Amino acid sequence: MMKKITLLILIFLFSIGYSQVTNQGKPYSWKLNNLEQVMPVKMPSFDLKALKDEDKANEHRKDIPWRFGYEFIVDHNLANSGKWHTLPNGDRIWRIRFKSRGAKTLNFLFSDYYMPEGGKVYLYNNSRTDLLGAYDARQNNETRVLGTWLVQGDDVWIEYFEPAAKAGQGKLEIFKVIHGYRTAEDMQKSPDDDLNASGNCNYDVDCFVSGIENLKEINKKAVGLMITDNSGFCTGALINNTGNNGTPYFLTADHCYSNPAEWAFRFNWISPNPVCAGNANSITNAPNFYQTVSGAQLRARRAQSDFCLVQITANLPSSWNLVWAGWNRSTTAATSTFGIHHPAGDIMKVSRDLNPPTTATFDGVLSWRVADWDLGVTEGGSSGSPLFDQNGRIVGQLYGGLSACNGLNDNNSPDYYGRFDVSWNAGTTAASRLRDWLDPTNTNAITVDHYPTQQLLALDAKAQIVNLNLAACANTFSPVLKIINRGVQPLTSAQISYSLNGGTPAIFNWSGNLTSGNAADITLPSLTGASGANILNATIASPNGATDLNPADNTVSTTFNINVYPVANVTLNLVTDSFGNETSWTLKNESGTTLYSGGNYGNFQTINQTFVLNTAGCYTFTINDSESDGICCDFGDGSYTLSTGSNIIYQGGAFGSTESVAFRLDNAMSVDDNMLKASVKVYPNPSSGVFSITGMQSSVSYSLYNVLGQQVQSGKLETGSSTINISQSANGVYILKLTDSATGGQASFKLVKE
């Protein structure tokens, strides 16, 4: 099994997401005070271990959706549950709250959904950090069934607003509550735990791919993640028709089929800061606007080539910048192929094969066989995802196969895609073939390009951080930046400015010759980070000495931690879960000698261990779980904390079979820096905007930076305690840099506003 190593040099990509079908503000109740208390409807426990055992048995299967949740059948509606509140003008609000202990997410199925004009439904978690809505009359459909997207957390509200003029007209029957017990984020924490996770050889779609870069950038806008049967993930794509009219047809796999009226879709789920070094996974935090929509109608499906075509019932906003992919129904094999998909419900990934696919029959399905991916793989959750030819046109959708990650590499196994040319006309009716829907005027076209046409700009240079080159326990690094030519004209020169922690930008002048769709890597001069949180910011400008016509992709940034401490004792605080005997750990020095170890604990036991460390160097703490499910949170809220003095080195608990933490003790560390870091406390963190800062022994100057490295606030903090208020700033990550006016000591902290 693959070992996961979490160094104390971490890249943090964080934002709080408001997931919305359309942008219609916040629920009405958020503006009100003294609303009547609503007690949560508590879901019963279930046999989670049995589900996980089934998931492990289905490790290599792609011919079924990737299951993420357990379904509870319920019966709650506007008449028998929840609380009504009447507003002074006669409008009414109905609220109900569901709690399912330990859920990563909750989603819902309405078996009777009807919204009058002006009626709105919102879903949000109890902490109000994730919001879905508003659902309204535009989601009404003939079946009166509607499935929702996921809301983060185990405590979720459903709120219905009803205008006074429409009193009694709305219908909302909750039939299913789905307890999401695993997510793509968990899979990356534990690639051995819940199998079919998004493995470390997957490749983020926004990472540069030679030869298909421009085609990939277009077609990623067509691909969507979908919830099928309320508790499983598949992938599919918007697909064009010969009328070039934007009819929201969505192509996926027949084996993903369930009632399409219950489906929910998410588009453009792409990491804002992809990790492109080697093939390591990026952290999959969501962008701060979710493009989700619910409900579809079946148009055609057939098992022979495993295709399913649906039409999404809602209008897709033009602001989402979506693309309807082109297609190729020729029986001639492509010269090369690539796929775009959502493995394990993860952020969007890309796979590429430089060789032609071959025809094959796999489990009875007439398929294109991709023998061995040259880049990336597919996994459970990728089912139904499109296979594109060398011109970026769909030639099939994923049925199954054996490709998977083997550590950072793929396992050199094939995948099989139902053939588009077979799906086109093999069926005998419109309900079993594609041609009636995708060529409604019988043009007999063999190929169709994407819609709407995507035009490249004359000058468009894109920047991407490829690798920090930050080794374990180090604080100096030489980051690698990739320059990508997304424009039409060859790129021969550009100016790169970069800065660390809001410092004075340095300039790197690049020259070369990049044709459209090509890229070059540059290694920036060595930088030295501060102990604690850091921001690296880089901007590319002046392509060919002119103005970049697309400045939106010029700037890239990443936050990361460097933790170096003075030589001192380190303390381990360990709390076991309900299977304490599964947990063991070791602490090793940089030569690999085991200095301390422990294990064979009782259930829910608390262990405090002090490590006496008198020598400077790099140390590695490794914790293991023999059943590969960590110590949190499925079977109790276990946790572990490493600290030195008042400094927390690392806190964890949610991992799979193993997790390792590396940290450095250094005699040369500034005493003043360490004293400031040790004495100052920042809380609450995360916060809604007001942070308390305590422990200053003298006055301290501060600067606050956003993830772009821009200073957003500065000032002085007086001795003792003070506050910083960023309530009016955007949600996200900030870096707080403190300087002691008396000693000159410096310290930095990562703040999260939600």
Instruction: List residues with catalytic annotation.
Output: 255, 306, 383
Q: Which residue has the tokens 């779980």?
A: 625
Q: What is the 3-state secondary structure (H, E, C) of 272-303?
A: CCCCCCCCCCCCCCCCCEEEEEECEEEEEEEC
Q: Which of 267, 259, 301 is nearest to 146 (CA)?
A: 259
Three-class DSSP category at 348: coil
What span, in angstroms and rounded, lies between the C-alpha atoms of 557 and 735?
Answer: 12
Question: Which residue type, as a one-letter code, is found at position 388?
Answer: F
DSSP assignment, residue 90?
Answer: S
First to last CA, the chain: 36
- Cα–chain center distance at 457: 29
Look up residue 262 and give its two tokens.
């219950």
Length of the chain: 754
Three-class DSSP category at 430: helix
Number of Cβ within a 10 Å radius of residue 73? 8
Q: Which of 695, 752, 547 is nearest to 129 (CA)?
A: 752
What span, in angstroms and rounded, lies between the C-alpha atoms of 350 and 279?
Answer: 11
Number of Cβ within a 10 Å radius of residue 690? 12
Residue 162 buriedness (CB in 10 A; 0-12 / 13-18 / 19+): buried
Q: Which helix (H) or strand (E) holds 420?
A: helix 420-425
Residue 253: φ, ψ to 5°: -95, 145
Q: How many CA atoms lie within 13 A of 58 on its CB side?
A: 22
Q: What is the DSSP string of 513-557?
A: EE-TT-EEEEEPPPEEPPSEEEEEEEEEE-GGGS--S-GGGSEEE
DSSP assignment, residue 697?
Answer: S
Residue 629 buriedness (CB in 10 A; 0-12 / 13-18 / 19+): buried
Q: Which of 394, 4, 396 is nearest to 191 (CA)?
A: 4
What span, in angstroms and rounded, lies between the C-alpha atoms of 586 and 597?
Answer: 4
Say if CB 556 and CB 463 are below 8 A apart.
yes
* Percent composition of the chain: helix, strand, coil (DSSP 3-state, to 5): 10, 45, 45
What span, in angstroms and rounded, lies between the C-alpha atoms of 581 and 603?
Answer: 7
How many Å is the Cα radius of gyration of the chain? Answer: 27
Number of Cβ within a 10 Å radius of residue 41? 17
- Cα–chain center distance at 47: 27
Beta strands in 216-274 (DSSP E): 223-228, 232-238, 249-253, 264-267
What span, in angstroms and rounded, lies between the C-alpha atoms of 256 and 384?
Answer: 7
Q: How many CA atoms lie within 13 A of 460 on its CB side?
A: 15
Number of Cβ within a 10 Å radius of residue 430? 12
Q: Which of 661, 638, 633 is nearest to 648 (CA)?
A: 661
Torsion-angle region of residue 345: left (phi > 0), alpha (psi -120 to 50) or beta? left
